[in-house]
Amino acid sequence: MNMRPIPILALAALTSAAPVALADTYTTIDFPGAVGTDPNGINSAGVIVGDYIDHAGAAHGFQLVDGVFTAIDYPGATQTTPISVNARGDVAGFFLDPSNQWHGFVLSDGKYFVQDYPGATTGSFTLGISANETLVGEFKVGQAFGQLGYAWILSHGEYVQLTPPGSAQAFATSINPRGDVVGRLIDTIGRQLAWKLDKDGTYTVFQFPGAVLTNARNINTKGEIVGVYRLGSVNHGFVLPANDFVNFTTINFPGAATTRALGINSCGDVVGTYDLAGVHHGFLLSHDCGDDRADDD
């Protein structure tokens, strides 16, 4: 893999109370003392990664295992955002350096590796990592943070741009062990749609009916897709069965104003965020699948 290692900053274990169960299957996730918590990814072992916002407005990374948080902060970075965790426990994400440049990273076996897409001028972002360490993400050429750039995949040390049909901009958010990739795009007439690239090279562009935005955020080993759709100004989470782009199941955290579904593992456990009474929280939606767990992406 074409990555540059640097020494790891020692990770600090943070003591916290166990998450509070709100319903039979929902659990709230709040990083202690944070003003907002975003769980972004979950693997087959139930390891959750994400970021939290401190009172100064800066993003810091975390890993959550059995109710215990561990900090993930890229050394010297002003902000760190983990997005994905694979079956081995390798973590992928991005960070902002002191010169205000964005870089992708992977944290593996106690070492950080940096990804910078060749020719990117305003940032590279690593968003997905599979079990075989193939990476996907986004690079920007003049676009600001928050504006869509272009999708990439990094396999066997080679970066390749991914261009879904009809797209003007795009990013790739997740890749599973089979090589299926998902993401979001803006097409040439301004629509914000989701897309999937099968391992055989076939693209599918899809959207939730009537949505102004559909974003495929994660795909698990089974091919199930989790993401976000927006009706008017309200976000909702969704899950799609494998190879099905029609039968959406909506995920709305009970009583929440908005919900985003961001990660799914091989069991069907989902992590994401919700807003309630003006406060931003994370959640875990657990699915009882017994021993029916596959190797995760």
- At 129-156, the pLDDT tens digits run 999 999 999 999 999 999 999 999 999 9
Total number of domains constituting the chain: 1
| Containing structural domain, residue 195 | 4-285
Q: Provide mean pLDDT across the span 208-223.
A: 98
Looking at residue 296, its pLDDT comes to 56
93 within domain boundaries:
yes
- Residue 173 vs residues 127, 129, 130: alpha-carbon distances, Å: 5, 9, 11
Predicted confidence band of residue 181 (pLDDT cuts 50, 70, 90): very high
Give dist(CA 11, CA 63) in Å, integer.
10
280 within domain boundaries:
yes
Model confidence pLDDT, tens digit, residues 45-91: 999 999 999 999 999 999 999 999 999 999 999 999 999 999 999 99
Model confidence pLDDT, tens digit, residues 219-267: 999 999 999 999 999 999 999 999 999 999 999 999 999 999 999 999 9
pLDDT higher than threshold 90 for residue 15: no
- Residue 31 vs residues 222, 235, 256: alpha-carbon distances, Å: 30, 22, 19
Looking at residue 186, its pLDDT comes to 98
Tokens of 56: 């100064």
The answer to whether 112 touches 73, Cβ cutoff 8 Å, is no
Tokens of 60: 């810091």
Q: What is the CATH number of the domain that holds 126?
A: 2.120.10.30
87 within domain boundaries:
yes
Comparing 227 with 14, the larger pLDDT belongs to 227
Predicted confidence band of residue 297 (pLDDT cuts 50, 70, 90): low
Tokens of 94: 């991005």
Predicted confidence band of residue 291 (pLDDT cuts 50, 70, 90): low
15 within domain boundaries:
yes
pLDDT higher than threshold 50 for residue 21: no
With a CB cutoff of 8 Å and minimum separation 6, the contacts of 139 are 117, 119, 120, 123, 124, 125, 149, 150, 152
Q: Provide mean pLDDT across the span 270-285.
A: 96
295 within domain boundaries:
no
Place of tokens 């003007």: 168
293 within domain boundaries:
no
With a CB cutoff of 8 Å and minimum separation 6, the contacts of 38 are 50, 51, 52, 262, 273, 280, 282
Tell me the pTM: 0.90
Q: Which long-range contacts (CB under 8 A, 24 or more apart) does 195-204 make?
A: 195/164, 195/167, 195/170, 196/225, 196/245, 197/162, 197/164, 197/172, 203/164, 203/165, 204/245
Q: Which amino acid is at 202?
A: T
142 phi, psi to nearest 5 deg: 95, -20
Q: Provide mean pLDDT across the span 191-203.
A: 97
